[in-house]
Amino acid sequence: MLFLNSVRVAPGVRSALAVACGLALSGAGMAQAQEAVEPVVVTASRMPQLLQTAPIGATVITAEQIQRSGVADVNEAIRKLAGVASTSDLSNGRENVLDLRGFGATASQNMVVLLDGIRLSENEGVAARLTSIPLDLVDRIEIVRGGSSVLWGEGASSGVINVILKTGQGDVSRARISAAVESFGGQELQADGRWGLGPVALDASFKRVRSNGFRDNGSYKQDAMAVGVQWQQAAWRGGLRLMQEYEASRLPGSLLYSGFKANPRATITPQDDASNQETRLLGNLAHQWGVWSLQMDAGYRERQPSYQYVSFGSPKVVGHTTQNQLTPRLVYTSALWGADVKALMGLDWQQWSFDKTGSDGLETGSQNNRAFFVQTDVHLPTQTRVSVGWREERVRKEGDFPGDVAWGMLPVSYDRRDKLHAGELGVSQTVVPGWDVYGRLASSYRLANVDDNRTTPSQGPLLPQQNTDRELGVKWMSGGDGATLRFFSQKTVHEIAFDSVLYANANLDPTRRAGTEIEGHWSPVKALTLAATWQQLTARFRAGANAGKEMTQVAPHTATARVTYRINDQHTLELGMQYLASSRYVGDEDNLCAMRVPSSTLLDARYAWTDRVWTIALSGANLADKKGFNYGSTYLCGEPYVYPYAGRSVKLSASRQF
C-alpha cells in the first residue's frame, strides 16, 4: 500500500513533509526552538522509505489536522488542507472535482484514488466517492503528485490520493457520536467506534446527511455505513471491510449567466434528479518471513446509478456496474554492500462490467486489465537514493452502444486491445541534514472509458493517452516545520477530452502542462501554526490548430492559507482561505471568448471548545458570501452556462467521545 506515515508527536508538532509559504519561512523557522520529531516514513512504491529523501512530491494530511479543521468529509479535507484545486460537483452532491495538475473537466479520470491502497477510482466518467469514507476513522490522507502509472496503472496521469484508515491497538476501545445543523436546512448525524481485542480490531461507522441545498431543486441526502475487521498475529496480518452508501440528489442544472446574475439560487430543471447505490468489499493479507514479505490486496464494487432528465423529456435511466481487482506482490528488504535495498514485483488484475438502459435500448461495456510491475529503491551510503520502476499492462475494452436518437448519437460498437508501458526513475540527494533535492522522470497513461467512447468522431474507441513527466524538487525540514518547492512539466499526446468543435469526445492535439508548487507550514510558537500552498500552472496546446492556446477550465494560479491558534487546551480558532484564479470556459479552446470564469476567494473559519469528552464547534464557509461559480461552458462565445456555488453557510456541531 501507499503510505506517507505521519508519526504521532507532541502537541503543536506536525508532519515533517508540510507545506510552506516559501523558503523565506525557513530561516525564521530555524530560529525557533523545535520539539523533537521522529522521521516520516513513505512507501510510495509500496515499500517503506524516508519521505524526506524519497524522490517524489507528496503531501500528508493528518488525523489531527482533520479533527482541528472541522472539515465535513475527505473531499473537503483535500481541498482545504492540501490546497488541491477543485470545481463544483455538477451532480449537486459533495464530490467536488479534485484537480491535481490541470486536467480541468477530465481531472477525475486522470487521478487514481485509493482506500488503504485499494483502488476506488471508477471506469465511468465519475469521481471516486470520497464523502462516504468515515472521517473519524481516517488516520491520514496521502497525496502524491505526478504520473504514477508504474504502480497504479491507467488513469494515474496527475497523481494518486490514498486514504489510510486507523488500526486498532491492543485492547484500546473508542467511540464517538456527533450531530450538526447548518444553513440551507442541513443536518448531519455520524457515529463510529473502534474496539481492540488483542490481535483483532473491529470498527464500525454510520453517516446520515440531509440538506435542502443552496439552490432550488437542490436537495441532497446521503446514508453511508461501514464495518471493518483487522487482525495481526506474529508474522501475519489481514483486514476486511464492507462499505455501503446510498446518495440521492436533485439536479438544479446550469444557469445562463444572465439568470445567475438575477438569482443564483434559481433552477431551470425543477424535476431532474439522480441517485447512486454502492457496495464495496475490500480485503488485504500479508505474511512476513525474514527479508521477504508476501502481500495481497483485493476489492469488489457493485454500483447502481440512476438519473432522470425530465426537463429534456428523457425517461429514467438505470445503470449497473461491477468491478473486481486483485493485486498480489512480493517485497524484498535488506542491506547489501552498505546500501539499503528494497525491491517489489507484483501483478494487477482488474475486471469491470457495465450495462445501462436507455431510450433506444441496452448499452453494455466491459474491461479487463492484466499488469506486471517492478520497483526497486536503493539508498546508498553517500545519502543518495535511486528509485526505478517499470510496468506492462494489457487492456481489453468492449462496448456496444445502441445510439440515442433524441440526442443525435449514432450506434457505437468496439472491441479494442492495447499493450501499454510505464516507467519511472527518481534520484534524491541529501545536501546537508534537513535539506534534500530530487529529480524524477516518469511516463503514464490513461485509456478512454465507456463514457468517452460513447460518442467519438470516428464512431470507434479512442487511442490511449500517453504522458511523460519531468520534476525537480527541494525539501527542507527542521523539527516540526518544513517546506517543499517543486518544478514540473508534463507532455501529453492523444489526450482524451471533449472537443467542442467536433462536439464529440476525441484525442486532442499534443498538450503540455508545467508549473511550480510551494507548500509549507511553520509554528513560530507552540500555540500558533501557519500553513499555505501555492500552485502556478500553465496548460496549453503545443501543436495543431490551437497551438499555444490555453486549456479550458484550468486556473493558472491556486492558493490556500490557514492560521490555527490554540488559545488554550480547550479553545481553538482556525481561519482559512482558498483562492482560484480565473480560467477559460469549457468550449473556448481557441481562446477567442472575451469572458472568463471569474476568480474566487473563499473564506472559512471555525471556533471549537473541547474538554475530555465533548467538542462544541461553530464554523462558517464562504464567510464573505461571494456569489460566484468556478465552472462554466460556452458555445461559439455565446452567453455561458454556469453552475453557482453555495453562498455563506454556518454550521453548529456537537460531538461526544466514549
The Cα 617–Cα 651 span in angstroms is: 8
pLDDT at 374: 97
> At 42, is the pLDDT very low, low, confident or very high (cuts 50, 70, 90)?
low
117-149 confidence digits (pLDDT tens):
899 988 887 888 999 999 989 998 999 999 999
497-548 confidence digits (pLDDT tens):
998 888 889 999 999 999 999 999 999 999 999 999 999 999 999 999 999 9
The Cα 590–Cα 281 span in angstroms is: 45
Mean pLDDT score, 145-171: 90
Highest mean pLDDT among 33-47, 451-465, 518-532: 518-532
- Hunting for cell 524522490 — which residue is that? 55
**Is residue 92 predicted with pLDDT exceeding 90?**
no
pLDDT at 412: 87
Evaluate whether 121 touches 128 at the Cβ level (below 8 Å).
Answer: yes
At 428, the amino acid letter reads: S
pLDDT at 38: 58
273-316 confidence digits (pLDDT tens):
999 999 999 999 999 999 999 999 999 999 999 999 988 888 88
pLDDT at 43: 58
Please tell me the least confidently modeled range out of 23-37, 39-53, 286-300, 364-378: 23-37
- The structural domains of the chain, ordered by start, are 4-657 (2.40.170.20)
pLDDT at 41: 62
**Is residue 31 predicted with pLDDT exceeding 80?**
no
The Cα 350–Cα 394 span in angstroms is: 11
Reference 445, options 126, 160, 156; nearest CA is 156
pLDDT at 297: 95
> At 45, is the pLDDT very low, low, confident or very high (cuts 50, 70, 90)?
low
**Is residue 18 predicted with pLDDT exceeding 60?**
no
* More confident site: 17 or 487: 487
The Cα 39–Cα 433 span in angstroms is: 12
3-state secondary structure of 388: strand
pLDDT at 169: 64
Please tell me the least confidently modeled range out of 351-355, 399-403, 455-459, 620-624: 455-459
> Burial code of 134-159, b = ≥16 C-beta within 10 A, e = fewer?
bbbbbbbbbbbbbbbbbbbbbbbbbb
Please tell me the least confidently modeled range out of 89-98, 385-394, 434-443, 462-471: 89-98
Mean pLDDT score, 360-377: 94
pLDDT at 368: 96
pLDDT at 97: 93
> At 409, is the pLDDT very low, low, confident or very high (cuts 50, 70, 90)?
confident
**CB atoms < 10 A from the CB of 316, how many?**
11
pLDDT at 44: 62
pLDDT at 437: 97
**Is residue 341 predicted with pLDDT exceeding 70?**
yes
SS (H, E, C) 212-277: CCCCCCCCEEEEEEEEEEEEEECCEEEEEEEEEEEEEEECCCCEEHHHHHHCCCCCCCCCCEEEEE
DSSP letters of 153-188? -TT-SSEEEEEEE----TT-EEEEEEEEEETTTEEE
Mean pLDDT score, 491-499: 95
Please tell me the least confidently modeled range out of 26-35, 38-47, 325-334: 26-35
The DSSP bridge pattern shows strands 481-493 and 465-478 to be antiparallel
170-228 confidence digits (pLDDT tens):
777 889 999 999 999 999 999 999 998 889 999 999 999 999 999 999 999 999 999 99
**Is residue 54 predicted with pLDDT exceeding 90?**
no
Question: How much is the mean pLDDT over the chain?
Answer: 89
**CB atoms < 10 A from the CB of 311, how many?**
15
- Hunting for cell 473541547 — which residue is that? 610
